[in-house]
A and B are shown apart, each in its own frame.
Chain A
Amino acid sequence: MLRCDAAVDMLLDARDGTLSLQGRQALERHLSQCPSCTAFQRSYERSIALTAQTLAVKLPPQAKARIQALLHQRLDREIA
């Protein structure tokens, strides 16, 4: 049976898509029997999702318009 510390380490590789099939199966078996690691996985995933949402900001409209106007001007100049 996989230890909890190893399972937590494997969660990172699983997220990264670099965990072997054998590793994934061992991790799944461990998670199905370990409420602590299951709770950890849920909370870890939740915090990653919230981080991504927090970082998904929009460029303020005024800045967008300013940069777009500048790009328009410069691109034409570079092409000319």
Chain B
Amino acid sequence: MTRTLSSSDTSLRLIDDQVLVTRTLAGETFCFEELFRRYSDRVYGISLGMVRSEAEAQDVVQETFMSAFRKLDSYRAESPFRGWLFRIASNASLMRLRTRRRRPEVSLELSGPSFDDEGRHERPIKDLRPLASKTLEDQELGERLHQSIDALPEKYRSVLILADFDHRSMKEIGDQLGLSVPAVKTRLHRARLSIRQDLEVYLAGQL
């Protein structure tokens, strides 16, 4: 099928993912290009979040869609296509991380809140509501967040991306990474607390 998908090809935009998959399998490969149009940004977000290199993340996008195309007949319609695709993307990203030179495993210190012996908060909790009006058009805040995410050790960052960007449950993340749910929970909480702590520091500097 030599037809190329163009931006004016709006008829495909209304078609359900599952129908596009079926039509791709029937040889209409331009339908797969519509799936690329729909999900390439999201796949890029997952891979860039994990591998933290634009060039590598772009390679992962390419690999993900090629791999998805080759495995398309193994996709089962009971689960959403996008979830299946994003899992391929996160697996490809994790594979890249594994092949990088091994760095010593780093543990992240728990960065609050702390509790007294009775389980009460030891210190007042900083209110981040002033950040509620800030958007990522605030370049400084965006940069600070990128730095915070970059600074997370890989094992924490992967869990954070899967939970808070890919919206996977702790059980699904554990299955994918070969971790217990409590281990996922610990990593996720520490990663979130670390970012929250950085935002507190950022906010203190703004006031």
Contact = CB atoms under 8 A, between A and B. Distances in A.
Interface of A: 3-6, 8, 12-13, 16-18, 36-37, 39-40, 42-44, 46-48, 50-60, 63-64, 67-68, 70-72, 74-76, 78-79
- Looking at chain B's contact residues, the main secondary structure is helix
Give the interface residue-count category, chain B: 35 or more
30 contacts: A12-B170, A16-B169, A16-B170, A36-B120, A36-B121, A39-B127, A40-B121, A43-B196, A47-B192, A47-B196, A47-B199, A50-B141, A52-B164, A53-B136, A54-B136, A56-B45, A59-B40, A59-B43, A59-B44, A59-B58, A63-B58, A67-B40, A67-B58, A67-B62, A67-B65, A68-B36, A71-B32, A71-B65, A76-B2, A79-B29
A63 B62 CA distance: 10
Contact of B188 (A12, A52, A79): A12
B131 A46 contact: yes
Interface stretch (B78-86, B99-107, B111-119): B111-119
A5 B27 CA distance: 56
Contact of A68 (B33, B43, B115, B126): B33
Contact of B124 (A17, A18, A36, A53): A36
